Amino acid sequence: MEQMSYDKASENRIGSGSVLPFNNNTKINAEEIMNFCNSSFSIPMDYIEQFNSTGELPDTTDKTGMCYIRCYFERIGLIKNWKLDKDVVMSIMWPIMNNSIDSCELESENETNACVRTYAIAKCLMKYTLDGLRNE
């Protein structure tokens, strides 16, 4: 599987292949989670790269990419039962702010498709994260 190149904000990227800090001393192997999710919801690496740079997938007609994002967000501990874990989100998706997390949690709350709903939440989180990085 193709690896993404490292840059300053790579720890904020979905499926970056890096080891992420989690709950102080614990580490999450993002590459293992990426491989796990890709085994069920295989998407091209350029989809992940585009999501990391723009906050959107290039193709949302096919829900596979959205399901990959859902799998990744759930496995990494960002979301469970539509509730975002604020501590995890703030440690992984720095420089996102607490009020942004509250706002994103409400995205597509009436959506019944779990992949579509999680993707809407993920897009919102990425927008705030990318905006924060641009303003830094």
pTM value is: 0.78
Cβ–Cβ < 8 Å for 124, 103: yes
DSSP letter assigned to residue 10:
G
For the segment 85-123, what is each residue's pLDDT rounded down to a tens digit?
A: 988 888 888 777 778 888 898 888 899 999 999 999 999
Domains of the chain: 26-134 (1.10.238.20)
Average pLDDT over residues 33-43: 93
